[in-house]
Structures are given as C-alpha cells and as structure tokens.
Structure 1
C-alpha cells in the first residue's frame, strides 16, 4: 500500500512539474563524421565530412532518450503533428542526416501515419519535414562563420596575449602533429586541420588510420588542444561578437517564436503552435550559441562533442501565467553512444534569478539585435555585410531595371522594323 501510494505521488509530482511546460527548443551538433579537410599523410581517407554509422546510431539513441524526457506527460504530443513540431538544419548532408537519425529515435517505427487502420509506410515509420536554406543565406545557424564581423573577431583573437601564451606553451606539440599529418596551416585554417585530426582520432576505425608515429598520448593531446583552440578563438564573452554569431537564432527563439506562442496561447489555450523546435548545426555554431547564451566553456571545462545538445525550455511563471515565461537552459556536451544523456542545467550570468531566467530579461539583453532585424539593418550594422541592401529595396531595383530593359528592347525592335520597311520601300522604287 505504501509503495503504491509513493508511486502515485511521484506520478502526480511529475504531472504537475511538467504541466507548465510551454515549449522546447533543441540545438544539436551533428554526429560523428569523416574528416572535412584533407590531411596529406593519407589518400585513403574519404575527406567529405559525411556522417559515420556511429554518428547516426548516437543521434538515434539520443532521440529515443529525448522522447522519454519530453513526450510523456507534457503538452508536446507523442506522435508527429503538423504545426506542433519544427525541424531545421544547415544545408549540409551531415547535419540533415543527423536530424533524420535523431527523429528516427524521437518518432520510432510504429508512430507513423495510418490510413484505414494500416500504416502508410513500412514498419510505421514517420517522415519528418526538415527546413533548410542555401549556404549563402544561412545566417540563422552559421552566423559565427559567415558574418564578416564575427569572422573578424575570431581572426583578431590570434593576436591576443591569451592566444600567444597558449600557442607558445604548445607550439612544439602542434608542430609535431602538423609534421605527422603533412600540413602546416595558419590562421583559422589551424582550426580546420585540427578538426580533421580529431575526427580521425575519434573514429577509432581501421578505415581511418592515424599517422604511423602518432602515439596515444599525442592523440589525446591533439583532441585537447583542438578543443582549447576553439574556445580561445571564438570570443563568446564579447557582446558584439555574440550579436553577429548568435543574434539571429536568439531573435528567433526569444522574440519571434516565444512572442508568437504567447500571443496565440493567450487567445486560445488550445491553439496549435510549435511545442518542439529543433535546429541541427555544427561545433562552431553550437559553441558560439551556447557561449553567447551564457554557458562558460572555460570555467566548466567543456566542449560540444559530436551530437551535443543545448536545450531551451519555456515554462509558465510560478502562478502558471503566460505573461512572462521562465526560461530554463540545459546541456549535454559529451553524449554517450547509447544515448543515455544527462542534461545539466545552467543559468546565464546576465539573468537575475538563481534558478530560472525570465523571458523579459532575455529580450532586454538581445533587444538591439531584434530592433536591427526588424529594421532590415542586421546584415550591415551587426553582421557586417557591406553590399546587402534590404530585400524590399533590392526587389524594387530589380523591377525598375527590368522595366527599363523591356522598354529599350521594345524601342529597338520598332527601330529595326522601321529600317526594314524603309529598305524595302527604296528597293521597290529602284525596281520600278
């Protein structure tokens, strides 16, 4: 009797604790992959940055765990419903495949659509629509590597005392690694080569052999140095860098999405709004976004390894009101292959509350970014593009030019017809 009562109380507590959950935003790094940049020591390794089987399995297992965490006793349905889920990926195969692998665990076989009591697809799988845009337009999830201002901020870190001290202390190890792989990069290309070296080391696959003279000790040093290098070069403590690197995703989550959800739910508590949003990106992206959202990588000695997650939860306030939702941040940056993740909660330094950060505080922190986006000024004032006019002006210009070209063509056509007629007239008179 006592045991049964205990389980009943635990059920009620779980039900009550999750009843105020409004929405969940998940940002993940892709899974284990091939090296993306060539290492001259081996021509047998496929340098295409594509997802490995290990990466697919890791993401599928994590998706299964996240299903248990967020699709039971919450407002998020346990099967796919159009309008209640949103999935987006950067335009690369490894991020798209990672998201597909994740959703395979999140919506496992047997949860797919039915027609006349029979599954539409074999084994009852659930197809998932994934949103994506072309590489040159992807500033939402690739701001850290595509915005001129964020790129410049990263390049500037190579001349800082912190980087110089780090490099001088580890120069011999870096050179030993570069000698073995057959390339000596400079500047930001150092990050690319170290990422490829780390990919080979982590693969633990005979298809991806390490250089013959690379010891286990040196391999472990290479992994550590690669992580340290990333955390130094991306200045997530710099507000101006964060505006460029993560301003678009912050605006989408804390302004566009949450404001729209609150407005719709205030009008109708049963309104259909996305309760679960998922973004699939890269280590640079997740490192920048997490750091700019207030997670101190150096202090916590962490780095977003393959399939890492950043989770942003929106909850009602303590009185279950929607006016100023409470925001909870969680992460798992070293997810095991079996998907048994343990989300760790953190509070950004710019939030006042010791337990949760409210939406108004977050919107105040990112207000200048939101204003720049609303005024079509983000590309130039924050991101740093010099030749990107606002879309409306650009479209108007194209229309005007189009009309001018059409008019000139019409006039030239009339002139040509007139010349032909004059020539025929003169020829006819000559014949007479």
Structure 2
C-alpha cells in the first residue's frame, strides 16, 4: 500500500514578503492556529537510562520546562505582532477561543502563549504589578476527544492500522529494521519493536542531548543519524492512507470548515470568534500536515505551528491561506494541491473526502469491526446466556428435589 502522498514537497514562498501578497483591499476574516507545546522533559526514562533519576531534571517527567514556557510566551508575542491589526489588544471572549488537549504541558503552553498574546492593557489591568491576566482554556479528557487529541476509541481505525502493519511494505520494513531494533532493545533495556517505540527512544535521547547530557557510547552509534529517519517516518503512520487520515483528522477538518463557514455568514445564531487557538502535540501537527499532503517527514519541533487564515477580497470572494511555522518565519503551502490562495469552496472540496462530522465519525468507528467479529461476539454472548440458564435450571432442580424429600412431622425412621 502506497504512502498517502508521503513526500509531497511543501510549497515555499521565495521570500517571506511574498507570503503576504494580498491586495490592500483584501480583509483578514478569521485565523486558526494549531501548535505543539514547548520544551519538556522526557516522558519516561528507558530502563538503562543513566539520566533516569528524577533529581537530574528541573521538573517531573513529561512536564513543560521554563524553557518551554518562554518558547510559547515568545510565540504569543509573535502572534500579537503578526495580527496586531486584526486581533484587538484588549481581551474579549468574542475575539478568541482557546482549546487544549487535556495534558499539563499543552495546557501550560496555551497559558504561556496567551501571556505573550494578551499582556493586560487598559481595562484588562487588574493588578499593576502583574503583567498577566487569566484567559479561559477549554479542554475535555483525551479519551473523549476525537477532534484535537484524536484519542477517542475508534475500532475501525485500530483495525485499519493492524491491517497496514500486515502489508508487504511494513513486513519488509520490519525485516530491514530487525538488527536496529535488536541493538537498541539490548542496550536500552526497553522493548523496541516498531516505529512508535523507536520514536519514543529517539525523543528521550534528543531531549537528553539538548540538556547537554553525555549519551552512552551505545547511543552515540545510532543517534541521531540512524534513528531520526525512522522516528520521522513514525509520524506518517496514523495518516498513511486516506481512510486512516479521515478517521484520525476528519473531525478537526470538519470543525475547521464549519468555523470558516460561520465567519463568512452574517446574522448566524452561532457567533464565531475571530481567532481559534489549539494547543496540542507533535503528532497533531504531523497528522494534519500529512492529511493535507504537505508533510515532509520529520519530528515536528517544539512550538511548531500550523496557521489557517481566511481572507475576503473586495468583491466578496473568500479564500484560505495555510502556513507552517517550525522555524523563525512561516512557510506558505498548498493544502491538498489547492492554490496558495485557495478559494473557500475549493478548500472545502479538496478536504471533503477526509472531513467528517462527529456523529458520522462515531458511526463509522463503531461499524469498523468485520462482520465475523459480530458473529463471534454474538456467539460468546449466546454461550454465556446458555450456561447461565443451565446453571440456574440445575440449581432450581436441586432445590426442588430437596423440598420434595423434606422430613414430614409424622414421618417414621427405620434403623
């Protein structure tokens, strides 16, 4: 099975200024940003990790560090500068809506970002000695979230992923990486048997090297050069096919398109704010980019950001621009082969095949089990019911028999 536009090159502006070649009459009408959290500590040390002692790290495992807080504070300042003419300085819940996955480091990243985006001014100043103001951040448990965390249970996706790993490509890949898996398993003490577990190890080594820890000799032989290509490839797996991408990112794109529609309509019951902010993970960034056929496999860095901008021309034509910022300046790209200035109807049309409403997503996910599974499940339930009936009947008969042979008051016994 072929990669879902795996190596489609991102369209890059020759100059940053070219990314903003809109007519002076064009009006920015809506912005959606999705970013990865800031710098963090390793999620967990590997068994033989010489730096597995919690005391060696500034905060607990998987938590946002002070560097990470500053990462996002500066990104917030950058967003303030970029949208100074669009987003009012004084905070209003009618201007911005913030959502995060239900993870400490993403919630904290959103908070630090907002501190840079909305330093209190004018009526927002509530404490002259504190250049900060509370701004709501919305979230739901990851196990209930199919939109941003994309971790709500989806049996059909799980089945598709298992089928993917049985394809000849992945069988060959597993054979190709056998020695590498065996090597890192032996020396790390962890079970490294697939791309995902390999990426976890790569991430830990990357963070430790960032913190100037000297890596073990065995790790120097494979990090980063021998591990990075496969760690990068792991980010493509969840959206490898269009069907998988639809189940993994479809609810997000459905929400995105719905938001743009609301921004282009007047007098609608639901008021759509000017700015949507989503705080998430490297997997989120990779999944969205790859679904839009704009992902060059790589581990998305801290604060990597996707930007969707909705514009309206003087004659009332709506179009969308998409950007990816993983360095100093954002790079414009064409979403699913649309033009850089993608007309909104074309943007919707290009994403139609992968966009899916939540109720339909729920239905498709639960219908993902093959019919044989339902037969097996029905057979198990029937068997359990039959056994229960047989046991109940046996107990009843024993009880009844005991009652039939109870001693009567005038009954005589013989030796």
Secondary structure in 2 matching 1:326: strand
CA shift in 2, pair 1:313/1:164, >3 Å: same
Quote the Cα distance in structure 1 between the aligned partners of 2:319 and 2:88.
21
Could you tell me the TM-score, scaled by structure 1's length?
0.70
Indicate yes or no: 2:340 matched with 1:355: yes
TM superposition shift of 1:362: 2.8
CA deviation vs aligned residue, 1:373-427 (integer Å, no higher than 9, x gap): 4xx33202157578xxxxxxxxxxxxxxxxxxxxxxxxxxxxxxxxxxxxxxxxx
Quote the Cα distance in structure 2 between the aligned partners of 1:91 and 1:209.
33
Quote the Cα distance in structure 1 between the aligned partners of 2:136 and 2:299.
30
Match of 1:175 among 182, 191, 197: 182
Match of 2:43 among 12, 27, 36: 36
Match of 2:360 in 1: 377
Match of 1:402 in 2: none
Quote the Cα distance in structure 2 between the aligned partners of 1:249 and 1:289.
9
TM superposition shift of 1:127: 1.6
Conserved? CA contact 1:27–1:279, under 8 Å = yes
Match of 2:333 in 1: 346
Quote the Cα distance in structure 1 between the aligned partners of 2:21 and 2:271.
24
Match of 2:13 in 1: none
CA deviation vs aligned residue, 1:239-265 (integer Å, no higher than 9, x gap): 21122111111011112x11222223x
Q: Which has the higher contact order (CA 8 A, sep 6+)?
A: 2
CA shift in 2, pair 1:350/1:148, >3 Å: farther
Match of 1:104 in 2: 115
Deviates more, 1:359-368 or 1:176-185: 359-368
CA shift in 2, pair 1:127/1:308, >3 Å: same
Conserved? CA contact 1:41–1:211, under 8 Å = no
Match of 1:65 in 2: 78
CA deviation vs aligned residue, 1:183-235 (integer Å, no higher than 9, x gap): 12345xx514532442342343669663353217633432343112322x233
Match of 2:65 among 5, 29, 52: 52
Conserved? CA contact 1:185–1:193, under 8 Å = yes
Conserved? CA contact 2:238–2:248, under 8 Å = no
Quote the Cα distance in structure 2 between the aligned partners of 1:350 and 1:15.
20
Computed over aligned residues only, the root mean square deviation of the Cα atoms, in angstroms, reads: 3.2
CA deviation vs aligned residue, 1:100-135 (integer Å, no higher than 9, x gap): 122222223x43744xxx644632312211010122
Quote the Cα distance in structure 2 between the aligned partners of 1:134 and 1:267.
30
Conserved? CA contact 1:145–1:245, under 8 Å = no
Conserved? CA contact 2:36–2:280, under 8 Å = yes
Secondary structure in 1 matching 2:336: coil
Match of 2:100 in 1: 89
Match of 1:393 in 2: none
Match of 2:204 among 195, 199, 205: 199
Aligned residue pairs total 345
CA shift in 2, pair 1:18/1:166, >3 Å: farther
Could you tell me the TM-score, scaled by structure 2's length?
0.73
Match of 1:308 in 2: 304
Quote the Cα distance in structure 1 between the aligned partners of 2:191 and 2:25.
52
Conserved? CA contact 1:30–1:55, under 8 Å = yes
CA shift in 2, pair 1:370/1:344, >3 Å: closer
CA shift in 2, pair 1:289/1:146, >3 Å: farther
Match of 2:30 in 1: 23
Conserved? CA contact 1:144–1:284, under 8 Å = no
CA shift in 2, pair 1:126/1:158, >3 Å: same
TM superposition shift of 1:292: 1.1
Secondary structure in 1 matching 2:219: coil
CA deviation vs aligned residue, 1:255-303 (integer Å, no higher than 9, x gap): 2x11222223x789xx9741111101112222111211231324xxx44
